Amino acid sequence: MIRKAAIIVIVLALVILLTAAAPKVWITDLRPRLPLHPDRDYDRRTLDQIQQVIIHHTAAPASQTIEAIAHYHTGPNHICDNGCPGIAYHFMIDREAKVYQVNDLETISFHASGQNTVSVGVCLIGNYDELEPTPQQLTAVVRVIRYLNRKLGRRLAIAGHRDYANKSCPGWNVDIDSIRAKV
Ligand SMILES: [Zn+2]
């Protein structure tokens, strides 16, 4: 009887340990579900080429779906006259702090002219010249950058799109320094 109880305890302990060790799913993978350009493909890179994270906003209503954004990017638009190969970013974060992966890290997408080869694009859904980002949303940005640093084995630089372009992106209400301080 004692031996049986001991086995049950050991099995339970193993189950608890394995459950705790299993990676938590907190990034929703939208890559297989988003529209792509019928003829164009983004160039690819190796992970060791990545040096920085660039933060963006959609500058559009927070209610806009990621599918709608991908449709816009793959049709004729302000970035690509004939449509971009796919959605422009790598990660999207909504106001409820849900995180979505929308491109492979190896994909050189078009989110910050001149910086695309070395950058990962993380985009807040909404217009942050008008809205304040939610605290949970900012925590999610920090979490994504920490996840990338762990995955790539080094600390990536952190910039706002406005550091490279004459625009407010990711919105003047997003403080890049405070994100840097928290990573
Ligand atoms: Zn931007």
CATH of the domain at 57: 3.40.80.10
pTM (two decimals): 0.87
Q: Residue 86: inside a domain, yes or no?
A: yes
111 C-alpha to ligand 1 centroid (Å): 6
Q: Is residue 147 part of a domain?
A: yes
Beta-bridged to residue 157, according to DSSP, are: 52
- Interval between CA 152 and ligand 1 midpoint (Å): 23
Angle among Cα 44, 26, 23 to the nearest 5 degrees reads 90
User: What's the 39 CA to ligand 1 centre distance in angstroms?
Assistant: 25
**Beta strands 99-101 and 91-93, pairing class:** antiparallel
Reported as a single tens digit per residue, the pLDDT across 53-71 is 999 999 999 999 999 999 9
140 near 99, Cβ under 8 Å?
Answer: yes
118 CA to centre of ligand 1 in angstroms: 15
d(CA 72, CA 75): 5
Q: How many domains does the chain have?
A: 1
| pLDDT tens track for 96-143 | 999 999 999 999 999 999 999 999 999 999 999 999 999 999 999 999
Residue 25 Cα to ligand 1 middle (Å): 27
Q: From CA 156, how far away is CA 120, in angstroms rounded?
A: 10
Does residue 3 sit within a domain?
no
Q: Which domain holds residue 132?
A: 26-182
Q: Is residue 18 part of a domain?
A: no
Q: How far is the CA of 163 from the centre of ligand 1 (A)?
A: 10
| pLDDT band of 166, cuts 50, 70, 90 | very high
**C-alpha of residue 146 to centroid of ligand 1, in Å:** 21
Give the residue among 171, 164, 177 at the shortest CA–CA distance from 116.
Answer: 164
Q: Is residue 16 part of a domain?
A: no
Spell out a b/e string for 10-47, using b for 16 or more CB atoms within 10 Å of the CB, else e. Answer: eeeeeeeeeeeeeeeeebeebeeebbbbeeeebeebee
CA of 58 to the centre of ligand 1 (A): 7
**4 assigned to some structural domain:** no
Q: Are 99 and 28 in contact (CB under 8 A)?
A: yes
73-87: average pLDDT:
92
- Longest CA pairwise span in the chain (Å): 75
Q: Which pLDDT score, from 0 to 100, does residue 169 have? A: 98
Q: For residue 110, how far is its CA from the centre of ligand 1 (angstroms)?
A: 10
Average pLDDT, the chain: 93
